Amino acid sequence: MPGLEDLYREIILDHYKNPRNRGTLEPPAVRSEGHNPLCGDEIEVFLIVNNDIVEDIKIAGQGCSISQSSASMMSAAVKGKPVEQARALISRFKHMMSIDEEGEPDTSTPLGDLEALQGVVKFPVRIKCAVLSWNTLSEALDIAAE
């Protein structure tokens, strides 16, 4: 029987090989980009927010399997969700990656496939790969709120 680590590896590979919400969006969608020079990862997030709902999100960029699968999972997790819930998920994910954030995470939003990335925390150099798309999303949400 495959163990949990095998299952997690499969989920990560599935998102890497079949990335969700891949592409770009034209303005008025907002755009933000993030780089992880340590690994060479690049992420572009295109976002449409309407009535405080993440109406659409597209991801472009390239990089390692952790950065790209994390971006794919992130896009699937926040699409169609209220902005508040997306922000709660960013905070929760960063907690999971042991990045200090104020306060206790709001655990009401399920992590789903994102749990597959919790093993990354054992490899500090890869944490930046996993968190890159979340920081880029956070920036895009800030731009959309302006």
C-beta of 68 vs 109, nearer to Zn ion? 68
* Structure tokens that stand for 20 in this block: 């969700």
In whole angstroms, the minimum distance from the beta carbon of 37 to Zn ion comes to 10
Positions in the binding site for Zn ion (CB under 5 A): 39, 41, 64, 67, 129
* Peptide bond just before 82 cis, omega within 30 deg: no
C-beta of 69 vs 85, nearer to Zn ion? 69
What are the two backbone dihedrals, phi and then psi, of residue 84, each rounded to the nearest 5 degrees? -60, -40
Residue 24 burial (10 A CB sphere; 0-12, 13-18, 19+): exposed
How distant is the alpha carbon of residue 5 from its chain centre? 20
In whole angstroms, the minimum distance from the beta carbon of 92 to Zn ion comes to 21
In whole angstroms, the minimum distance from the beta carbon of 129 to Zn ion comes to 3
C-beta of 67 vs 133, nearer to Zn ion? 67
